[in-house]
Amino acid sequence: MMTSSLASEGKTTTISNIATIMTEQDKKILIIDLDLRKPAVHKQFNLSNNTGLTDLLLKKDDYKNYTKQVYPKLDVITSGKVPANPSEIVNSKALQDVIKELSFHYDYIFIDAPPIIAVSDPITIAKFSDAVILTIAYSNTEKELAKKAIDSLRSVNANIIGTILNKVPITKENKYYYSYY
């Protein structure tokens, strides 16, 4: 799963990029939008969000009716209509059952989650995720806030496999690292 301390640190952008790049390793990948308060994965891939995860959980029919293929090895389940009770969905057994089923059909499932400081959803999601990646926006997120987010994740034994420092400005000094040579 992907999370961050605050909103707009770049979770959706980064998770979409990583998932896309990983398809080059011939892995079958699924992105699920579980940021139900601010769903945005559909925008990254120009998909309709008329139906998605919330419909799959309600109707309990074939998951394939709700996956959208964006590349040969990359599928997306958009959020679907945003419910009045996002936390109920995130805490539901139905969600865990669906993710368990999906795990048999994909090599990796990337979950786009809400930011940690805002709501408890990401901590719930961390409990059933194999690994957590934390995006931190350069010069935006106070250290204390990032530490707090990490502490919350550790309190549920989340497996933090890495952090991404995002939005680093390209200056004269560090330009070299971004150039092709």
Ligand X SMILES: Nc1ncnc2c1ncn2[C@@H]1O[C@H](COP(=O)(O)OP(=O)(O)O)[C@@H](O)[C@H]1O
x-marked contacts with ligand X along 114-153 as a string, rule CB under 6 A: ----------------------------------------
Check residue 40 for interaction with ligand X (CB under 6 A). Answer: yes
Question: Judged by CB under 5 A, which of 4, 12, 49, 124 binds Mg ion?
Answer: 12
Check residue 119 for interaction with Mg ion (CB under 5 A). Answer: no
Question: Judged by CB under 6 A, which of 11, 42, 68, 73 binds ligand X?
Answer: 11
Q: How far is CA 171 from CA 94, 141, 176, in A?
A: 48, 20, 9
d(CA 112, CA 88): 17
CB 62 within 8 A of CB 15: no
Closer residue to ligand X, CB minimum distance, 139 or 157: 139
Check residue 40 for interaction with Mg ion (CB under 5 A). Answer: yes
Which part of the chain contacts ligand X (CB under 6 A), choosing from 8-16, 52-60, 66-74, 141-149? Answer: 8-16
Residues that bind ligand X (CB under 6 A): 4, 7-13, 40, 166-167
